């Protein structure tokens, strides 16, 4: 509870220093073999950390051009931040040495503490807590550390994470989940301010970090993976406060009977009761998700879809069942596909190929290989209907494969993917209504790697223009529904909306 007793400003300064260290000591860099210490050092170099790194190994020597200091004391300057990866029994002494060197904080990658269920592990963890109270903040133990592209910090197994910074923060009790979301984010287009894997959370953990993120100007969307909280009441009070200004997406693990057992051996947490958790999350206006991809999609949605209530959706795509499917799915997520006004519908029909097309909503362009210039007419038209709040465009790019084979050309020359993303960007800015792109791939056999490549290429171009892309229409609808529900329930946004209405 020490965090709770400190004034905001004090621990903000400490955490700012931890997230933006001018130098780092890595304690436990083995000069031989493949250890956590050498691994994190190489990861920091790979991702381009620009500060000074001091590497420590009790035997001295050299690693990768780095002098290995025999002890933390030998480091010839003060340090901002430490990464500790020595055997559990040596951690307390290393942590204390880092504190004496002036480090604001340390991440402890080592495992072998409370999660082992042994008295020895619990004792070692208590020692960490005691040292931390004397004045050094701790991330971990049993964690993967911090990823912060802005300052060049990365997770233990994170040499190849994106270097681009963005609005999403992720607090994760699980290191595996932290690295998973960071990997998914890289290609999906989720850009991060800070990812913190805090493992056993001996010192810094969910509530205090959440409080920090509320005031972090680099963070606009917060994701959390929680196995258990230290102080439920304080956590939910904080969550409610934070969620009133920034969307907080919560994935709570261990709410099942057997999940309980798994969290104990994972991060030494208590799982909690499903009904209590779910109702408390709802009351806090947090967004509860139930798996990793759900969290990723939702984070992407909040990053790229502007705040707003989205009820009426226009869907454009080729292939009739896709239309039926769209309607059924939309309704499942509380969205509507209003039938377009007659005038608009007949105007769109003029542009569509025949027969087989339909422009009522969903707009069925009949053929999956309709050119972006035609799709443009559908999107511009549908946006004119005042009941349409957001548009979903489905493109089955794999159908171009037969065309490419027929023409004897590579797929990349046949699919008008640049025209597609340019068109979407232009229509979106022209109409002021968001557009979400869906790029399913049903041809995932070995002979169709080129289909995968063109879809990835299209996705990455779309992401550059801040167009959210989903594999599946279900994910698109679900995400839109989450975004819409959050803003519908958020006072800060409702007030703004009333203001706008008042001023009209």
Residues between 237 and 296 with contacts to its own copies, criterion CB under 8 A: 253-263, 265-267, 290-293
What residues numbered 70-109 form the site for its own copies, per CB under 8 A? none
- Across the chain, which distance is largest between two alpha carbons, in Å? 80
Under the binding rule (CB under 8 A), the answer on residue 147 touching its own copies is: no
Indicate which single residue of 22, 360, 465, 485 sits in contact with its own copies (rule: CB under 8 A): 360
Contact of 200 with 140, CB cutoff 8 Å: yes
- Considering only 336, 347, 353, 431, the residue that binds its own copies (CB under 8 A) is 336
* Residue number with CB closer to its own copies (74 or 160): 160
Write out the binding residues for its own copies, residues 296-335 only, by CB under 8 A: 319-332
**Interface residue with its own copies, options 17, 443, 465, 485 (CB under 8 A):** 443
Which part of the chain contacts its own copies (CB under 8 A), choosing from 76-84, 89-97, 169-177, 242-250? Answer: 169-177
Those residues whose C-beta lies under 8 Å from the C-beta of residue 126, and which sit 6 or more positions away, are none
Cis, peptide link before residue 123, omega less than 30° from 0: no
CA–CA separation, 316 vs 375, rounded Å? 8
Binding segment (CB under 8 A) for its own copies, from list 6-14, 380-388, 437-445, 496-504: 437-445
408's tokens: 């004897």
Q: Which is nearer to its own copies, 197 or 220 (CB)?
A: 197
Q: Contact with its own copies (CB under 8 A): which of 1, 9, 34, 502?
A: 34
Element housing 272 (H / E) = none
Q: Which is nearer to its own copies, 87 or 343 (CB)?
A: 87
Determine the Cα–Cα distance for residues 226 and 221; give it in Å rounded to an integer. 16
Which residue in 449, 494, 495, 498 binds its own copies (CB under 8 A)? 449
Please tell me whether residue 367 binds its own copies under the rule CB under 8 A.
Answer: no
CA–CA separation, 89 and 324 (whole Å): 62
Q: Beta-carbon neighbour count of residue 503 at 10 Å?
A: 6
For residue 266, what are the contacts with CB-CB under 8 A and spacing of at least 6? Answer: 115, 174, 227
Candidates 339, 464, 495, 498; binder of its own copies (CB under 8 A) is 339
Binder among 116, 384, 431, 489 for its own copies (CB under 8 A):
116
Closest to its own copies by CB, 323 vs 381, is: 323
Q: Which of 436, 451, 188 is nearest to 326 (CA)?
A: 436
What torsion do the CA atoms of 83, 84, 85, 88 make, to the nearest 10 degrees?
-160
Going from the C-alpha of 388 to that of each of 341, 430, 431, the distances in angstroms are: 11, 15, 11
Applying CB under 8 A, among 64, 460, 494, 495 the residue interacting with its own copies is 460
Residues near 95 by beta carbon (within 8 Å), at least 6 away in sequence:
82, 84, 106, 108, 128, 131, 132, 136, 138
Report how far apart, in Å, the C-alpha atoms of 297 and of each of 47, 78, 402 are.
Answer: 25, 42, 31
Residue 31 and residue 66: Cα distance in Å, rounded?
Answer: 10
Which one, 20 or 31, has the nearer CB to its own copies? 31
Tell me whether residue 54 or residue 147 sits nearer to its own copies (CB atom): 147
- Any contact of residue 145 with its own copies (CB under 8 A)? no
Instruction: Yes or no: say if 404 and 414 are a contact pair by the CB < 8 Å rule.
Output: yes
Closest CB to its own copies among 67 and 261? 261
Q: Which stretch binds its own copies (CB under 8 A): 92-100, 186-194, 371-379, 415-423?
A: 186-194
In the bound state with its own copies, the residue whose beta carbon lies nearer, of 123 and 215, is 123
The Cα 427–Cα 16 span in angstroms is: 40
Contact pick of 80, 211, 364, 389 for its own copies (by CB under 8 A): 364
* Residue 353 touching its own copies (CB under 8 A): no
Residues 393-422 that bind its own copies (CB under 8 A): 398-399, 401-402, 406
Strands 145-147 and 192-197: antiparallel
Minimum Å gap between C-beta 29 and its own copies is 16
Min separation Cβ 74 and its own copies, Å:
29
Strands 52-56 and 66-69: parallel
Scanning residues 37 to 76, which ones bind its own copies (CB under 8 A)? none
Contact 153, 15 (CB under 8 A): no
Residue 262 C-beta: closest distance to its own copies, Å: 4
Sole binder of its own copies in the list 17, 234, 465, 474 (CB under 8 A): 474
206 phi, psi to nearest 5 deg: -45, -55
How many positions of this chain bind its own copies (CB under 8 A)? Answer: 80
Nearer to its own copies, 449 or 492 (CB): 449
342 binds its own copies (CB under 8 A): no
């Amino acid at each position: 509870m020490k965090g709770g007793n400190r004034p905001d400003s004090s621990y903000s300064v400490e955490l700012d220093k931890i997230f933006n260290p001018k130098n780092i000591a890595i304690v436990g860099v083995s000069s031989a073999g493949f250890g956590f210490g050498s691994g994190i050092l190489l990861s920091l170099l790979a991702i381009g950390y620009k500060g000074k790194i001091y590497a420590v190994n009790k035997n001295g020597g050299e690693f990768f051009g780095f002098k290995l200091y025999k002890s933390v004391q030998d480091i010839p300057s003060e340090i901002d931040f430490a990464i500790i990866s020595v055997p559990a029994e040596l951690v307390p002494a290393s942590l204390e040495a880092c504190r004496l060197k002036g480090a604001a904080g340390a991440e402890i990658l080592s495992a072998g503490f409370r999660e082992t269920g042994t008295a020895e592990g619990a004792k070692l963890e208590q020692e960490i807590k005691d040292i931390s109270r004397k004045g050094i903040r701790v991330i971990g133990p049993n964690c993967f550390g911090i990823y912060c592209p802005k300052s060049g910090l990365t997770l233990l197994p994170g040499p190849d994470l994106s270097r681009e910074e963005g609005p999403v923060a992720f607090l994760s009790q699980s290191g595996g989940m932290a690295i998973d979301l960071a990997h998914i984010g890289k290609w999906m287009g989720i850009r991060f301010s800070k990812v913190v894997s805090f493992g056993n959370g001996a010192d810094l953990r969910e509530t205090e970090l959440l409080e920090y993120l509320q005031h972090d100007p680099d963070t606009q969307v917060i994701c959390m993976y929680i196995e258990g909280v230290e102080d439920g009441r304080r956590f939910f009070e904080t969550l409610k406060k934070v969620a009133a200004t920034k969307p907080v997406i919560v994935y709570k693990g261990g709410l099942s009977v057997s999940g309980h057992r798994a969290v104990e051996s994972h991060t030494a947490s208590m799982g909690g009761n499903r009904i209590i958790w779910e109702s408390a999350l709802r009351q806090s206006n947090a967004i509860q998700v139930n798996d990793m991809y759900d969290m990723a999609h939702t984070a992407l949605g909040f990053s790229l879809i502007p705040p707003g209530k989205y009820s009426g959706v226009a869907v454009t795509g080729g292939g009739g069942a896709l239309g039926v499917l769209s309607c059924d799915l939309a309704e499942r997520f509380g969205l509507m596909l209003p039938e377009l006004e007659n005038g608009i519908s007949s105007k769109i029909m003029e542009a569509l190929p025949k027969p087989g097309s339909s422009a009522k909503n969903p707009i069925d362009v009949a053929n999956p290989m309709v050119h972006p210039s035609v799709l443009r007419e559908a999107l511009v038209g549908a946006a004119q209907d005042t009941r349409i709040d957001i548009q979903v465009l489905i493109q089955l790019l794999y159908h171009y494969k037969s065309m490419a084979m027929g023409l004897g050309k590579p797929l990349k020359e046949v699919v008008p993917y640049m025209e597609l993303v340019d068109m979407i960007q232009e229509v979106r800015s022209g109409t002021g209504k968001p557009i979400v792109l869906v790029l399913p791939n049903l041809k995932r056999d070995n002979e169709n790697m080129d289909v995968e490549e063109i879809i990835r290429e299209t996705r990455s171009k779309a992401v550059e223009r801040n167009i959210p892309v989903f594999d599946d229409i279900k994910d698109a609808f679900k995400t839109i529904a989450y975004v819409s529900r959050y803003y519908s329930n958020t006072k800060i946004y409702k007030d703004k909306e009333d203001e706008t209405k008042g001023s009209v």
